[in-house]
């Protein structure tokens, strides 16, 4: 049965019960009322009977007309009272007796009245006890009155007991009604509890259990009402959920296994690659994990506890190649932790606990979390000791060779100079021409050797730089003038774009800065097209001065752009266009600029243009 129907039936039952109880109470109260009413009448009857007695006595003493009239009126009232309907059988018997007596009262009174009036006309006395007929009538009258009074008392008593009985019955009825109502309410609430509250509690309990993860739980409600339907739906849902869950668990298990498998693969990959890999936690740089190669390289046992405890800078000793200690803030992981950029350095020497030293090439890259914040830094490092050793030998050889080459080249130069000046006698024109050719070749050779030497010095870091706050404008203007001659053959124009701001001074070595500009201009002219343009622009960035040198030349192929600043590298199209050139110019420029704390990079499109961007921090 539906809850709604149940509630409707329940309400109906309570209503009917209340109605019955109401009716019973109503009838009970009307019985009480009637009994009370009857009681009142009996009391009146008693009063009237006694009044009649009194009036009779008064009248016969005084033979007063007024008392006679009053007596008749009271007697009539008594007759009316006796006409009232009394319910009880005993009462009706008494009433009959009373009526009988009352009927006989009237003639007795009249008879006595007549006798007394007759006597009065003769004796002028009032009541006389001597007349035997009078005495008889009087006695009868007295007797009847007495009877009426007695019967009235009896009726009163009866009425009183009737009232009490009725009241008792009424109390009993009220008590029973309340008890019945209470019973109904109890049964009703019991039914509500059984059919609504308990199932709801069961449902509640079930949801809690399922909520706690017991997906096997089923609610045991068989009722055919809404709660029953809800319970069925709930059970179906739980079953389905359980199905999903078990399916999900299977999937999770499967995935976990896959992940574990991949993890093992990944771990073996990380551990077996021959370069060190470490993950450091931002912002301080504690080592989170390091692969075996890394541990071996840095000379520490694979004791994670030991590795991860401190920041990496407290764990290892890093030096520069000249043996001085490496400033912590300049190490790649520190820079990445600070700036979030990828940094590579290959001039770091790590001192192992056994005091041996190895050179490292170290690259650090940021690892960002979902919010884009730096979470950690991944650092890879490889042993480049052997490479460094070879590099060192190469550089030593380079400077030795350069010095040794310069010596004969210099003396050839001077000998040729003397010859060409005619100091050894006048030369024949063809001889002079040949000697001049030899001299030019020799000069080229000297230039090349000088460049070699410069490169090796730069690579060994054995160069002294005199960087100071410099006004670069005159240097640039001077450099532009210096290359004027070279622009002629291809009719190339060089423009310095005027600025709205005063170009600030920057910290550079003036002599080398001139070389930088000369070199860039020389490239911009050499690899330009006929009637090409070269522009020099300045821009103020945030705390930086940017210088842009742009040409309208052949550009640099995309593949070569990353290598263009390497020593001895020349772009493919440049080699084709111009066989001369050693490919050290841009390497030197980059080295100089970086020494001054600046930056150089380029933007180029093959066949269209190349722009070199030079950036210098403002002091």
Partner 1 sequence: MNDELAQNKKYILVIEDDKFYGNIFQTKFTQAGYDVFVATNGEQGLQAAIQREPTVILLDLIMPLKDGFETLQELKANINLKNIPIIVLSNLGQENDIKKAKELGAVDYAIKANISLQEVVDKVSQYLK
Query: What gap in Å lies between CA 523 and CA 510, rounded to an integer?
Result: 20
For residues 111 and 406, which CB has a smaller minimum distance to partner 1 in the complex?
A: 406
Q: How far is the CB of 510 from partner 1 (least distance, A)?
A: 15
Q: How far is the CB of 408 from partner 1 (least distance, A)?
A: 7
For residues 234 and 596, which CB has a smaller minimum distance to partner 1 in the complex?
A: 596
In 3D, which of 78, 86, 141 has the Cα closest to residue 108?
141
Query: What gap in Å lies between CA 88 and CA 166, rounded to an integer?
Result: 12
For residues 376 and 470, which CB has a smaller minimum distance to partner 1 in the complex?
A: 470
- 3-state DSSP of 86-125: CCCHHHHHHHHHHHHHHHHHHHHHHHHHHHHHHHHHHHCC
Cite the beta strand spans of 143-235 per DSSP E: none
Q: How far is the CB of 406 from partner 1 (least distance, A)?
A: 4
For residues 518 and 536, which CB has a smaller minimum distance to partner 1 in the complex?
A: 518
In 3D, which of 201, 243, 191 has the Cα closest to residue 221?
201
Query: What gap in Å lies between CA 361 and CA 384, rounded to an integer?
Result: 6
Pairing of strands 493-496, 468-470: unpaired
372: phi > 0 → left, psi -120 to 50 → alpha, else beta; which? left
For residues 275 and 420, which CB has a smaller minimum distance to partner 1 in the complex?
A: 420
Q: How far is the CB of 437 from partner 1 (least distance, A)?
A: 18
Is the separation of the CB atoms in 144 and 27 below 8 Å? no
Q: What are phi and psi of 547, to 5 degrees?
A: -115, 130
For residues 221 and 409, which CB has a smaller minimum distance to partner 1 in the complex?
A: 409
For residues 286 and 509, which CB has a smaller minimum distance to partner 1 in the complex?
A: 509
Q: How far is the CB of 519 from partner 1 (least distance, A)?
A: 17
Q: What are phi and psi of 367, to 5 degrees?
A: -115, 115
Q: What is each CA distance from 206 to 52, 108, 199, 215, 225, in whole angstroms? A: 87, 95, 10, 10, 18
Q: How far is the CB of 449 from partner 1 (least distance, A)?
A: 7
Q: How far is the CB of 566 from partner 1 (least distance, A)?
A: 23
Q: What are phi and psi of 546, to 5 degrees?
A: -110, 130
For residues 293 and 419, which CB has a smaller minimum distance to partner 1 in the complex?
A: 419
* Interface positions with partner 1 (CB under 8 A): 403, 406-411, 413-415, 417-418, 421, 423, 446, 449-450, 453, 457, 462-464
Q: How far is the CB of 514 from partner 1 (least distance, A)?
A: 16
Mapped onto helix, strand or coil, the DSSP state of residue 602 is strand
Pairing of strands 544-551, 506-508: unpaired
């Amino acid at each position: 049965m539906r809850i709604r129907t149940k509630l409707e039936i329940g309400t109906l039952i309570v209503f009917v019960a209340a109605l019955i109880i109401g009716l019973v109470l109503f009838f009970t109260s009307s019985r009480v009322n009637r009994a009370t009413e009857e009681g009142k009448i009996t009391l009146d009857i008693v009063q009237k009977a006694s009044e009649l007695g009194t009036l009779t006595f008064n009248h016969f003493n005084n033979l007063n007309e007024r008392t006679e009239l009053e007596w008749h009126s009271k007697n009539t009232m008594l007759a009316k009272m006796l006409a009232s309907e009394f319910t009880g059988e005993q009462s009706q018997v008494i009433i009959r007796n009373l009526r009988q007596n009352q009927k006989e009262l009237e003639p007795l009174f009249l008879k006595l009245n007549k006798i007394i009036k007759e006597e009065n006309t003769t004796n002028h006395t009032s009541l006389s006890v001597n007349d035997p007929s009078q005495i008889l009538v009087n006695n009868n009258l007295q007797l009847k009155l007495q009877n009426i009074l007695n019967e009235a008392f009896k009726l009163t008593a009866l009425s009183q007991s009737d009232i009490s009985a009725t009241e008792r019955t009424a109390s009993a009825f009220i008590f029973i009604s309340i008890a019945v109502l209470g019973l109904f309410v109890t049964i009703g609430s019991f039914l509500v509890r059984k059919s609504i509250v308990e199932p709801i509690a069961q449902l509640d309990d079930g949801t809690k259990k399922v909520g706690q993860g017991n997906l096997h739980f089923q609610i045991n409600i068989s009722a055919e009402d809404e709660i029953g339907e809800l319970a069925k739906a709930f059970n179906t849902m739980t079953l389905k959920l359980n199905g999903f869950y078990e399916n999900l668990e299977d999937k999770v298990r499967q995935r976990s296994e896959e992940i574990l498998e991949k993890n093992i693969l990944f771990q073996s990959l990380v551990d077996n690659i021959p370069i060190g890999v470490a993950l450091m936690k931002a912002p301080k740089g504690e080592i989170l994990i390091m692969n075996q190669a890394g541990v071996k390289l840095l000379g520490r046992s694979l004791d994670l506890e030991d590795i991860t405890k401190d920041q990496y800078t407290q764990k290892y000793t890093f030096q520069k190649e000249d043996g001085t200690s490496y400033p912590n803030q300049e190490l790649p992981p520190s820079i990445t932790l600070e700036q979030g950029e990828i940094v590579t350095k290959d001039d770091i020497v790590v001192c192992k606990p056994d005091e041996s030293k190895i050179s490292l090439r170290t690259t650090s890259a940021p690892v960002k979390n979902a919010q884009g914040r730096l979470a950690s830094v991944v650092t890879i490092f490889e042993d480049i000791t052997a490479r460094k050793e070879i590099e060192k030998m190469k550089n030593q050889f380079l400077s030795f060779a350069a010095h040794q080459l310069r010596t004969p080249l210099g003396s050839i130069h001077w000998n040729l100079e003397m010859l060409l000046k005619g100091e050894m006698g006048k030369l024949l024109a063809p001889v002079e021409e040949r000697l001049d050719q030899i001299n030019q070749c020799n000069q080229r050779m000297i230039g090349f050797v000088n460049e070699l030497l410069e490169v090796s010095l730069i690579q060994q870091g054995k160069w002294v730089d005199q960087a100071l706050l410099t006004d670069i404008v005159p240097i640039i203007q001077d450099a532009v003038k210096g290359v004027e001659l070279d622009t002629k053959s291809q009719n190339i124009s060089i423009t310095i774009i005027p600025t709205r701001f005063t170009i600030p001074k920057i910290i550079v070595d003036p002599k080398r800065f001139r070389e930088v500009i000369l070199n860039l201009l020389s490239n911009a002219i050499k690899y330009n097209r006929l009637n090409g343009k070269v522009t020099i622009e300045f821009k103020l960035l945030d705390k930086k001065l940017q210088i842009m040198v742009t040409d309208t030349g052949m550009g640099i192929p995309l593949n070569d752009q990353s290598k263009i600043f390497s020593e001895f590298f020349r772009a493919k199209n440049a080699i084709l266009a111009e066989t001369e050139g050693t490919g050290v110019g841009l390497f030197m420029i980059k080295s100089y600029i970086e020494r001054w704390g600046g930056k150089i990079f380029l933007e180029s499109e093959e066949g269209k243009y190349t722009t070199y961007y030079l950036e210098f921090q403002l002091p």
